[in-house]
Amino acid sequence: MNFLFLFTVSSATIFLAALCFCIFFDQAVLIRRETIYRLPSAKKKIALTFDDGPSPVWTPMILDELKKCGIQATFFMTGYHVSLYPEVAQRVAREGHEIENHGYAHNVVLYYRMEEIEQEIRYTEHLIRQITGQTTRYFRPPKAWLGPRTKRKIKEMGYDVVLWSLNSKDWVTFDARHITRFIMRRVKSGDILLFHDSGGVFKSEGGDRAQTVATIPLLAKEMRNQGFEFVTINQLIEEALHA
């Protein structure tokens, strides 16, 4: 009985500690070396990025808001979701947004063999090209875990790893005004902002992205008041190169 109680308390404590770590700390900062996460020379330009989609529910709502606000964004899609919801991926492409590579199954690739990581990226690249006509050049590792050897492999494949400099934490923040305030206090030129168009706290499918949807018009207004312009990842990189 005592053992069971101790086991339950320890498991709950470990789980809560891991959750707090994910909520209050962004482990992506640990793997930034040799990746693209911010381009400060792109003056007053920022890139909105949406991970884990496409979702048949949330992506269309996000696209509607982006269209109303006249924003071009970048979607890091999983191959699995592209294969499930091809018509949503096609709409993203048709409306002029950039589509990039988030792997196939949204697994942590840290312990993958090199041929497995190559398969994940190439198959997702193939699906995105077949379905949307877009070619992917940038890879974002699921859950932001990536080792130095895998980074080298991805580089050899002709990809750059793109992370983010500002994490909206939209997967655990349930108020669009709070997300907007959090971003406006921190945003700088060349920032890459992370949002999600699919998934919840524990999975990349489904979830409730209503607050992400509601953040777009609030953020667009505040950012433009401060003279910021929204661009895609490719445009941000181009802008920084020619600055």
Q: Quick one: 51 or 239, whose CB is closer to Zn ion? A: 51
Length of the chain: 243
Q: Quick one: 103 or 190, whose CB is closer to Zn ion? A: 103
Pairwise CA distance, residues 223 & 46, whole Å: 9
Q: Which residue is nearest to Zn ion (CB)?
A: 51
Q: Quick one: 29 or 241, whose CB is closer to Zn ion? A: 29
The binding site for Zn ion (CB under 5 A) comprises 51-52, 142
Q: Quick one: 51 or 120, whose CB is closer to Zn ion? A: 51
Pairwise CA distance, residues 53 & 91, whole Å: 12
Q: Quick one: 9 or 108, whose CB is closer to Zn ion? A: 108
Q: How far is the CB of 197 from Zn ion (least distance, A)?
A: 10
Pairwise CA distance, residues 236 & 57, whole Å: 28
In terms of DSSP bridges, do strands 192-196 and 74-77 run parallel, antiparallel, or are they unpaired? unpaired
Q: Quick one: 45 or 97, whose CB is closer to Zn ion? A: 97
Q: How far is the CB of 117 from Zn ion (least distance, A)?
A: 15
Q: How far is the CB of 52 from Zn ion (least distance, A)?
A: 4
Q: How far is the CB of 239 from Zn ion (least distance, A)?
A: 25
Crossing angle (nearest 10°) for helices 58-69 and 210-225: 20
Q: How far is the CB of 51 from Zn ion (least distance, A)?
A: 4
Q: How far is the CB of 125 from Zn ion (least distance, A)?
A: 17
Q: How far is the CB of 142 from Zn ion (least distance, A)?
A: 5
Q: Quick one: 51 or 170, whose CB is closer to Zn ion? A: 51
